[in-house]
Amino acid sequence: MGYLPERKTRTIFVTGSTLNKNGKTRAVVLETKPEYAIFQLDGDKDRYSIAWETIYEMAMKHHNANLEIEAQAECKQKHRPKPKAKH
């Protein structure tokens, strides 16, 4: 395990996610900063920054929406008639 004598304030991740832009498939690159994150497609000049608070709020909304979808699916499955057993 490595040791960092001082904390880095910038880290870059090349994610496993890809997007198409102008007919080319490119990896999504995330650069972290203390106050915000920067998203960019690998090999592209366009950079998009977003505050960590906004990312957290978006994650909460998606999580709550996913919980509602799961609850609806579970409710539908409970009300579905059971298939009759074959003898």
* pLDDT of 4 over the 60 cut: no
Per-residue pLDDT band for 21 (boundaries 50, 70, 90) equals very high
Average pLDDT score over the chain = 87
Rounded to an integer, what distance in angstroms lies between the CA atom of residue 33 and that of residue 10?
5
Burial class (CB within 10 angstroms; exposed 0-12, middle 13-18, buried 19+) of 41: buried
Q: Walk across the sheet containing 11-21 and list its strands.
A: 11-21, 24-32, 36-41, 47-51
**How much is the average pLDDT of 36-47?**
95
What confidence score (pLDDT) does residue 61 get?
96
Rounded to an integer, what distance in angstroms lies between the CA atom of residue 40 and that of residue 78?
44
pLDDT tens string 57-79: 999 999 999 999 999 988 888 77
Other CB atoms closer than 10 Å to residue 74's CB: what's the count?
10
